Amino acid sequence: MSAALLDGSAEGIAAAVRTGRISARAVIEATLERIAARNAKLGAFTDVLAERALARADAIDAARAKGEMLGPLAGAPFAVKNLFDVKGLPTRAGSKINRDLAPAGEDATLVTRLEAAGAILVGALNMGEYAYDFTGENAHDGPSRNPHSLDHMAGGSSGGSGSAVAGGLTPFSLGSDTNGSIRVPSSLCGLFGLKPTYGRLSRARTFPFVASFDHLGPLARSVGDLSATYDAMQGPDVGDPAQADKPVTLTRAGLDEGIAGLRIARLGGFFARGGEAAAYEAVECVAKALNATRAELPGAEIARAAAYLITMTEGAALHLDRLRERAGDYDPDVRDRLIAGAMLPGVWTVRAQKYRRQFREEARALFRDVDVLLAPATPCRAPKIGQRTFVLDGRELLVRPNLGFYTQPISFIGLPVVTVPIWTEGVKLPIGVQVIAPAWREDIALRVARALEREGVAKAPVADFSA
């Protein structure tokens, strides 16, 4: 099997399988070989499901031999952050403690839906413990490494999701995003990532972090794959009480409609300070390509602070019993933040939630005048693994909580975002830009990302492993 096909898109693999140019078994065998060859360097996978994946591939090949119609993702391999339930595996959520849980009795809803579309699950992926992380470093399983420079962070908490896709192990993966955990690794690893509107995709049978902010979504090397996988995962599910009662809105057919008539603006104020020059240069590159104007979203700094408070208190409430019984089995960085959250006055969280409503109204008002907003995804390119602090705007800050500097205000109000990867000639690490749309308009954000991809402004190449 050609490396080019593995390095390509899920849609490309599916087209080859549907037409018989290659068998699904050959795709999965080659994928498993690549995982075996590269994962020791990347730290992306914590579990590889070879037997399950090969059985699924054989079933797809048998269906094709019978003349049955195959799904849009037929034979395409994927993997999921290990907070997704996978039948037969304990849902570890990056932790030591959860390894003692009984194996999951069934797959998460989104896994089931992707497999119904023909995709093949090949494993579960490394992540920051209990998703409380932006670095991709795990105290129990080791770090997920950035495929473009192995001594740099993949970003978190969906670090393995970013590492697997940028490393060419799978064409797409699933992650979660509470405060930025799809968008940060997409930025640092040079991928397209979609955080849908809060309540759009089912979270059923996944391990939670902060119920008020938890989102699930895909990371991929092409916008077409983002759109196709997003479409396959839509639909109502009584298993997630927070899921909105919204009709399925397919995006793939309209992906190439272009951006004519869209009013696009880059955000200033909070989103134009506090980061390194690379973050603003990337936004400028995208803004220039899209003829973007400028706009302000008042209150973003307060929104980030409020998101922090809600994250701390909800996270602490979820873990309080485990903290009392097994505090020593936590990553100390995670444990200390959870304990701090348990000590916050309840009135602070009430005020933060009230501000959430106010900030949502500010965003709605802004979207009366624009259709799309642009902002940095991270304040810098990927820091080095083990790096504890960085200097931003003359201040020394902790890396772990501050890589999500620009993502937190957006997930605070659940807006849909596509992160697009931007590269600078001669620089080995990318950085991302957030393409932000109004609630329930994932289609607009995807169209803008597709236009940038088509023009060569944004791209997501597989890291070079030839050396």
Q: Which residues are catalytic?
A: 81, 157, 181
Q: How far apart are CA 224 and CA 230, in angstroms?
A: 10
Q: How far apart are CA 66 and CA 77, in angstroms?
A: 22
The 10 Å Cβ neighbour count of residue 30 is 17
Reading the block at residue 85, the tokens are 């339930």
DSSP assigned state of 68: P
Confirm if 215 and 178 have CB atoms less than 8 A apart.
Answer: yes
368-379 CB burial, b ≥16 within 10 A, e <16: eebbbbbbbbbb
CA angle 291, 264, 258 (to 5 degrees): 80
CA angle 140, 404, 224 (to 5 degrees): 90
DSSP assigned state of 381: S
- DSSP structure string for 243-300: ---------STTTTS--TT--EEEE-GGGGSSS-HHHHHHHHHHHHHHT-EEE--TTH
The 10 Å Cβ neighbour count of residue 56 is 22
Reading the block at residue 315, the tokens are 């996270």
Confirm if 436 and 372 have CB atoms less than 8 A apart.
Answer: yes
The torsion angles phi and psi of 178, rounded to 5 degrees, stand at -100, -50
Nearest to 177 by CA among 140, 239, 133, 234: 133
Q: Which residues pair with 120 in a beta bridge?
A: 77
Nearest to 216 by CA among 174, 185, 166: 174
